Chain A
Amino acid sequence: MTYIKAFVVGGVLCAIAQFILDITKVNPALIMVSFVSAGAILSGLGIYGPLVKLGGAGATIPLTGFGHTLVTGMLEDAAKMGWFGLLTGGLRAASSGLTAAILFGYLMAVLFNPKG
């Protein structure tokens, strides 16, 4: 059941992006930025949190999940350190994802030749 919930939540989020990409002329970069922003806004409004509870990785892996992570981190640090936490929280919460992306991206680039 957990898997099904994750599949449905993640699938719906991605289907929305694909739908926008197919019917409008927006480019992939714009979709990426808007999804991160949308996730951040929904998280701030308290909507994305319940979605993560429901869908698990289905909600955290898509780009909206990145926005959610940033905002959650900022709110957590703000609760601890006040306004200053707004500056530190986002990157702290996202640090594992960012480090993994840079490290594994670099490793893959060293190990393999692109095929195009």
Chain B
Amino acid sequence: MEFHRRGTSTCIFPEMPVVVAAASVVGPREGEGPLGRLFDMVYNDTLFQETSWEKAETRMLRQALDLALAKAGIDQTQVDFLLAGDLLNQIISSSYMAREYDIPYVGLYGACATMAEGLALGSLLVGGRFARYVAVASSSHHDTAERQYRYPTEFGYQRVPTSQWTATAAGAVIIAAKGAGPRVEAVTVGRVQDYGVIDPNDMGSAMAPAFADTVWRHLQDMSRKPDDYDLILSGDLGKIGVGISHRLLLQKGIDIESRHQDSGLLLYEMKPEIGAGASGCGCIASVFTAKFWPDLMAGKIKRMLLVATGALHSPTSCQQGESIPSIAHAVALVSETA
């Protein structure tokens, strides 16, 4: 039996799955950011006409998926799998969203790496001919995430400069066996890394080693250099994580600086309250779907590597003094014209 694998961690696709549609829904602060006009839908209130932020997040996720389905021109009955994840306990935003659909559902938890996890698994399902269409969605909401991981925002505690601002954003994509759109060329599933960072207000430092390891493995497995990609897009390393990841990769002789952009540094104007940058599942989900998926469609980007990182701690593990394990998954995408 022939396996479609390269090197230690990378899967390649003889028939490349296609990302036929992508959609984003964001909150007010994200709408005012540099990418504001690119999002499909911007709310001017963080409650989205709901009675709680948790309900608002579910609504945002549902709307992102509805928009993606509409853009793909398909009905939910044609979708074989729905893969979704978010940051809340028991991934409630995703499961409550999935309750509104009649699609086989797989809930994912990869913290802020969820979009890449979903893209990777969705591509494998389609590439392995187990699905015709797979929907992938992921979201985060600033106020629900603060309540979950730190303190309720009503408490008004002081933020520290290394902390990152969880984005109120959702993104959804539709992966298909055929159609027009960027192709998924390869996926590299990461390994959990833990360099002993224990500060939950400094997740960039915790996640940088995972990013560096997955990028290094991907390039090794594919026998490529950073210059083979027009763009290496990370999820939410933030100012601090970006610097650390560059240094870690340089130690292995890889210089990605000229190709690398971080979604966490693209989403907002960098005001003091933002800290080291944006974060959350919705960060790369919305930045990719609103900015870079269209760039791939238009052929402005020929080949990109999407690498989302996630900090896999919980509030309990942090309170018990445990360090923060991190993960990064990479998905290589090529434009149709490439």
A113 to B160, CA, bound (A): 26
A28 touches B153 (CB 8 A): no
Q: Smallest CB-CB separation from B199: which chain A residue?
A: A25
A16 to B151, CA, bound (A): 22
B157 touches A114 (CB 8 A): no
B142 touches A116 (CB 8 A): yes
Dominant secondary structure at the B interface = loop
Tell me the smallest distance from the CB of A114 to a CB of chain B, in Å.
Answer: 5
Q: Smallest CB-CB separation from A108: which chain B residue?
A: B154
B143 touches A116 (CB 8 A): yes
- Interface residue tally of chain B, by bracket? 10 to 19
| Complex interface bits, B128-172 against A, C-beta within 8 A gives 1, otherwise 0 | 000000000000001100100001111001101000000000000
Tell me the smallest distance from the CB of B143 to a CB of chain A, in Å.
Answer: 4
Tell me the smallest distance from the CB of B40 to a CB of chain A, in Å.
Answer: 23
A114 touches B158 (CB 8 A): no
What residues of chain B lie closer than 8 Å to A28, measured between beta carbons? 151, 157-158
Cβ contact of A116, chosen from B53, B157, B158, B160, cutoff 8 A:
B53
Q: Does B121 contact A (CB under 8 A)?
A: no
Chain A residues numbered 94-116 whose CB sits less than 8 Å from any CB in chain B: 113-116
What residues of chain B lie closer than 8 Å to A116, measured between beta carbons? 46, 53, 142-143, 146, 153-154
Tell me the smallest distance from the CB of A112 to a CB of chain B, in Å.
Answer: 10
Tell me the smallest distance from the CB of A24 to a CB of chain B, in Å.
Answer: 11
Cβ contact of B158, chosen from A21, A25, A113, cutoff 8 A:
A21
B158 touches A115 (CB 8 A): no
| Complex interface bits, B231-274 against A, C-beta within 8 A gives 1, otherwise 0 | 00000000000000000000000000000000000000000000
Dominant secondary structure at the A interface = loop
What residues of chain A lie closer than 8 Å to B46, measured between beta carbons? 115-116
What residues of chain B lie closer than 8 Å to A21, measured between beta carbons? 158, 160
A114 to B51, CA, bound (A): 10
Tell me the smallest distance from the CB of B140 to a CB of chain A, in Å.
Answer: 13
Contact status of A113 and B199, CB under 8 A, knowing A21-B158, A28-B157, A28-B158: no
What residues of chain B lie closer than 8 Å to A115, measured between beta carbons? 46
A114 touches B153 (CB 8 A): yes
A116 to B45, CA, bound (A): 10
What residues of chain A lie closer than 8 Å to B142, measured between beta carbons? 116
What residues of chain A lie closer than 8 Å to B154, measured between beta carbons? 114, 116
A86 to B105, CA, bound (A): 59
What residues of chain B lie closer than 8 Å to A25, measured between beta carbons? 199
Q: Does B47 contact A (CB under 8 A)?
A: yes
A113 to B151, CA, bound (A): 17
Tell me the smallest distance from the CB of B60 to a CB of chain A, in Å.
Answer: 14
A28 to B153, CA, bound (A): 14
Tell me the smallest distance from the CB of A87 to a CB of chain B, in Å.
Answer: 30
A29 to B199, CA, bound (A): 15
A10 to B160, CA, bound (A): 23
A26 to B210, CA, bound (A): 26
Apart from the given pairs A28-B157, A28-B158, A114-B154, 11 other A-B contacts in the complex at a CB distance below 8 Å: A21-B158, A25-B199, A113-B47, A114-B143, A114-B152, A114-B153, A115-B46, A116-B53, A116-B142, A116-B143, A116-B154
16 contacts between A and B (CB under 8 A): A21-B158, A21-B160, A25-B199, A28-B151, A28-B157, A28-B158, A113-B47, A114-B143, A114-B152, A114-B153, A114-B154, A115-B46, A116-B46, A116-B142, A116-B146, A116-B154
